[in-house]
Structure 1
Amino acid sequence: MNTDLQSNEVRYQEAEALLQRYIQFLFEKNIDGWMTLLDDNFVIEFPFAPQGRPNRIEGKANLYPYIQEVLNSIEFVDLAQQQIHLTADPDVMVVEITVKGHASSIEKIHTLKYIWVLTTKDGKLVHQRDYWNPLALLEIRGGATASQAQR
């Protein structure tokens, strides 16, 4: 195996291990542990964010209160499915993830599906594009159902 392929394989393995810790810390609601995985200038984008919700957060300091609010309002029950797609760039991966959870105040379990495009550098996450259906979150929090929101 040539040196470039070996180097890329190691980077893929490191990126996958980083992702596993990322998900584990979210499920454990270990925000401080989760933050250790992020570069100080980490950027997260939410291309489908509903009006009134951020579509981009830059820097760990700005992300902390946002993720704290999210984790305080949702209980994760199960990671139902995960598929990792490695790209030609060993620092970029696409992740399909299905999570079961509920709002703290509602017992009904909902299934949330996400597609994440994650970029790593020097063992840290530097960028995430989080593609998810914001209507599902509204429903979990007891807001409008998808059919009501489309009217």
Structure 2
Amino acid sequence: MPAPTAPAALYRHSLRLLLDKNIPAWVALWAEDGRLEFPFAPQGWPQRLEGKEAIAAYMRHYPDHIDLHDFPDPRIHQTTDPETIVVEMRGVGRLVETGAPLDMTYIAVVTVQEGQITSYRDYWNPLAVLEPGTDFTGSSR
């Protein structure tokens, strides 16, 4: 089944793919020149990833570090730009290495053009999952 193309539906689909730990399918939702930004990234962490290849490399090991169980009640807000949505949500799960629970609040600003994610600004608190020497994807900092 093809992915939905409307921003809100595509975003909901992307959450399902993350819960299913299907990172290749999640990355496939991105435009080749898509941009993933982390405005609150701590020093030494990437603040901006440019292009689908960089995003794929960053997310490749996500399920090895974060075991997501749910995104309860995401709230998706339309903006005056029909291609851009603002999402309020929680991610609930556990940190794989320690087994510690994860319950994090996010706000994301996402732009979808021609059925692909072109821009994703992820306002999350990385201090909630900091582990010495690694970030949540397992990439060395």
Q: Could you tell me the TM-score, scaled by structure 1's length?
A: 0.80
Q: How does 1:1-150 map to 2 (within 5 A)?
A: 14-138=6-130, 141=131
Structure index of larger Rg: 1
Partners of 2:72 and 2:132 lie apart in 1 by 22
Shift, 1:35, TM fit: 1.6
Gap regions ≥5 residues in structure 1: 1-12, 144-151
**Percent identity between the aligned chains?**
37
Instruction: Report the counterpart of residue 146 of structure 1 in structure 2.
Output: none
Deviations along 1:92-142, one digit per CA (max 9) or x if unpaired, are 00000101121112223221111000001111110000001111121xx47
Gap regions ≥5 residues in structure 2: 134-141
Q: Could you tell me the TM-score, scaled by structure 2's length?
A: 0.85
- The ranges of structure 1 where at least 4 consecutive aligned residues each deviate by more than 4 angstroms after the TM superposition are none
Deviations along 1:25-75, one digit per CA (max 9) or x if unpaired, are 111111111122110101011000011110000001111121113332110
SS in 1 for 2:107: strand
Whether the 8 Å CA contact 1:18–1:123 is kept in 2: the answer is: yes
Question: Could you say which structure has the higher helix fraction?
Answer: 1
Whether the 8 Å CA contact 1:119–1:128 is kept in 2: the answer is: yes
Relative CO higher for 1 or 2, CA cutoff 8 Å, sep ≥ 6?
2
Partners of 1:39 and 1:14 lie apart in 2 by 14
1:17 partner letter: A
SS in 1 for 2:91: strand
